[in-house]
Amino acid sequence: MIGDQSQILGQPVYEGSVQPEWIDANQHMNVAYYMLAFDLAVDRLWWTFGITDDHIREQRTSTFAVESHMTWQGEMNLNNPFVVTTQILAYDAKRIHQFQRMYHKERGYLAATCEWLNLHVDLRTRRVSPWPGDILEAIAAEAEGHNDFGLPIELGQRMQVRDAMFSVAGYE
């Protein structure tokens, strides 16, 4: 059961809990494991499109991440249950831009976000290639309704130190 479901945005694609080996010296979930959880959620989304391990081996096509940006909103601690949701923001014949949110499953608060740009790739040539028709149809079907989630406020945010005591030339 997710806490206050009215605050949950995106399509749930993955659930898990914070594992002991994910805890760092600060006694909370280490940043590297947020990326792992988000990556596992991407894999689950791909499965719904038909991009399974068998598909990758047989068709020799897959996806590559080319850009990602993460934000942390609230701490996750040992054994905390979480759910990751995905929102498709845009796609074309070869690319998909998605936004993920990790929520504490019981308390419902937003713990982290991850924005991705992924490319469809022919593994024989290691070049970007068009999505197969059935996968493109599955992406389109999944994307229906994702506009209802609105534009994420964290989307495309730039890191910045306001009122910096030092900054390199051009940093603003």
- pTM value is 0.91
Kindly list the distances between the CA atom of residue 53 and the CA atoms of 57, 70, 97, in Å, as whole numbers in the listed order.
6, 26, 21
The span from the CA of 122 to the CA of 49, in Å, is 17
Instruction: Note down pLDDT in tens along the chain; length 172 residues.
Output: 455 555 789 999 999 999 999 999 999 999 999 999 999 999 999 999 999 999 999 999 999 999 999 999 999 999 999 999 999 999 999 999 999 999 999 999 999 999 999 999 999 999 999 999 999 999 999 999 999 999 999 998 888 898 888 989 777 7
Instruction: Kindly report the CATH number that applies to the domain delimited by 22-149.
Output: 3.10.129.10
Q: State the DSSP string of 107-153.
A: T--EEEEEEEEEEEEETTTTEE-PPPHHHHHHHHHHHTTGGGG---T
Domain boundaries, the chain: 22-149
